[in-house]
Amino acid sequence: MVWRARCRILTSPQSLKEKRSVVQSVLAKARNKFHLSAAEVGEHDMLNVAEFGFCSVGVDATKLEQIAERCRDGLERDFPIEFFDEDISVESY
């Protein structure tokens, strides 16, 4: 599963350093709690928008989509972010 997600940072960071703090916390939570590979993949120069890429490998596509949904809900609950543009792609080989 590959999940690309853009989100708004609701606290309106005043510097890239403040944005980086939120982004790094979001990435760490996605990696540690949800066991996803995660990276910031775009919107590097915009203070109030972040773009993330997440990836996971598994046998059951439904379970992978549920993990993405739980991760999104958990991240929105725990951090000052709101997802507004997402693409989830599940490939079978």
CA dist., res. 90 & res. 55, Å (int): 10
The pLDDT value recorded for residue 81 is: 93
Domain boundaries, the chain: 2-89
CA dist., res. 44 & res. 20, Å (int): 9
The pLDDT value recorded for residue 1 is: 79
The pLDDT value recorded for residue 38 is: 94
- The tokens describing 62, both together, are 């439904």
The pLDDT value recorded for residue 40 is: 94
Helix (H, G, I), strand (E, B) or coil at 47: coil
Helix (H, G, I), strand (E, B) or coil at 62: helix
Q: Average pLDDT for consecutive 10-residue bins of the chain (93 residues)?
A: 88 91 96 95 91 92 91 94 90 78
Fold of 2-89: Alpha-Beta Plaits (3.30.70)
The pLDDT value recorded for residue 11 is: 86
